[in-house]
Amino acid sequence: MGVAGIIPSEIALIFVVLVGLFAALRVAFEKNTLRKLPYLNVLSFAVAAAIALLIRHPLALLAAVAFFVGSTLESNAIASTYAGGRDKDD
């Protein structure tokens, strides 16, 4: 397909993939684990967005949310572990 035939969702996907690759590199090169997590957050946004853009199906929405919430919960757990566990009042 030539450039003239490119459709908006493909242009959107190109943006998403570039942001995802950039975030992945920043995760890889950041030394401080807690400071990796915001970059990982950007990567999760990009992956969830790519799932929806690539698969336009109701179940893909569920997959994108499930991936995103799962990734967020993992970051939450990693950060809370570094902070010394759960708050006393939890």
Partner 1 sequence: MLDVIARILAASLVSWLLFITIDVLFKLPEKGGVSGAAAIGQAIEKDGGALHGGYMMGNIVCSPDASAGTLLAACGVYIAGIPGGLAAALLVYIGNRICYDPGYAGTTGAVLATFVIFGFTRIGFGAEEFIAGMVLAILTIQGLSHLGASRLLATLWGWRA
Give the binding site for partner 1 (CB under 8 A): 3, 6, 8-9, 11-13, 15-16, 19-20, 22-23, 26, 32, 34-35, 37-42, 45-46, 48-49, 51-53, 56-58, 60-62, 64-65, 68-69, 72-73, 75-87, 90
C-alpha torsion 17→20→25→28, nearest 10 = -140
Min CB(13)–partner 1 separation in Å: 8
Min CB(3)–partner 1 separation in Å: 7
Segments in the chain forming alpha helices (H): 8-29, 33-54, 58-82
Task: State the Cα angle at 28 between 10 and 41, rounded to 5°.
Answer: 60
